[in-house]
Amino acid sequence: MRYLMALLAGSLFGAGLFISGMTDTAKVQGWLDVFGDWDPTLAFVMGGAIVPMALAWRLTRRGTPLTGGSFPAPPEPKLGRNLVLGSVLFGMGWGLSGLCPGPSIAALGFGHWGHAVFVAAMLAGMFAAPAIRGQLDRYGAPA
Amino acid sequence: MEADWIWGLVGGLLIGSGGAVYLLGNGRIMGASGIIGGLVDGSGRGTVGERLIFLAGVFVLPLLLLPLFPEADTHLTTNPAVLVAAGLLVGIGTRLANGCTSGHGVCGISRLSLRGIVATVFYIGAGALTVVLFRHLLGVI
């Protein structure tokens, strides 16, 4: 049942990324390109995605997930170095390529070698991230 | 194309529905970087199966839809240095920040999480600055 839910969620996510045009890096970079030929599509994608998600969060106020267990804890109010620094680094990579993690997987089926290169580098970065966080904790600015 | 925003809205609703299924069905936040990252750094050892099945859905559906939209294109850069640098930045950054566009953006903002909103402001800001710098000033992308 958990696997079925994961397959359904992943399929909806993948279909949505493709249909919305988020696998097209020109649309993503076009949205970020505020001084160029600005493309508003991403705002509609975000807005459309937030509506069902906000309804789902309301439903988590009572009950439990269909497959058992419990819903995620309320969000932590804690901001910090890792959140800000990580988001800045992520934004730089997103701007350079027009790819974020979800669309990078969804676009693999286009068969462009570049996606395989990007995903391999992304996996390497994800593998290295815990060690980098450890080094920041040891020598870097306070968390 | 004028219809782009309609496709964007429809696709967005599908993305949000996927997040709703993952949350209400499995009690988990649908964040792509967390789902992938947990497979890479070992933090998701107990949930490998559902992570892989989720990603299989993300990969396969565009493959099935592609024949219906033959004009679809990714316009991905062919500059290998840009691809490697961007991949490393996205991988390191999303795991440091513990979220990306789906986790912090869609799932975080929809529950009015301060962390999600702050992360989104910083990655969009950094992304816009990067595009302006590398496209208009340096002409690399």
Residue B140 has what pLDDT?
A: 85
Min distance A16 CA to chain B CA atoms (Å): 4
- Angle of helix A113-139 versus helix B32-40 axis, rounded to 10: 80
Average pLDDT, stretch B57-65? 97
- pLDDT surpasses 90 at B29: yes
Rounded-to-integer distance, Cα B3 and Cα A45, Å: 13
**DSSP string of A29-96, one letter each residue:** HHHH-TTSS--THHHHHHHHHHHHHHHHHHHTTSS--TTSS-PPPPPP----HHHHHHHHHHHHHHHH
Residue B101 · residue A23 · CB < 8 Å: no
Average pLDDT, stretch B15-34? 98
pLDDT by residue (tens digit) across A79-112? 999 999 999 999 999 999 999 999 999 999 999 9
Chain B residue numbers with beta carbons less than 8 Å from the beta carbon of A112 are 74, 76
- pLDDT surpasses 90 at B120: yes
Kindly report the CA angle at A97 between A15 and A19, in degrees rounded to 5?
15
Name the closest residue on chain A to residue B108, using Cα atoms: A75
Name the closest residue on chain A to residue B98, using Cα atoms: A83
Interface subset of B 97-126, CB within 8 angstroms of A: 97-98, 100-102, 104-111, 113-116, 118-120, 122-126
Note whether A12 contacts B15, CB cutoff 8 Å: yes
CB distance from A95 to chain B under 8 Å? yes
CB distance from B71 to chain A under 8 Å? no
Note whether B5 contacts A40, CB cutoff 8 Å: yes
Confidence of residue A76 (pLDDT cuts 50, 70, 90): confident
Min distance A139 CA to chain B CA atoms (Å): 16
CB distance from B21 to chain A under 8 Å? yes
| Domain residue limits at B28 | 4-137
What ipTM is given for this predicted complex? 0.96
- pLDDT surpasses 70 at A141: no
Cα B57–chain centre separation: 14
Q: What are the boundaries of each domain within chain A?
A: 2-139
Average pLDDT, stretch B18-26? 98
Residue B2 has what pLDDT?
A: 64
Interface subset of A 10-69, CB within 8 angstroms of B: 10-27, 29, 32-36, 39-57, 59-60, 64-69
Structure tokens at A113: 């070698």
CB distance from B37 to chain A under 8 Å? yes
Note whether A89 contacts B89, CB cutoff 8 Å: yes
Give chain B's domain count. 1
- pLDDT surpasses 70 at A142: no
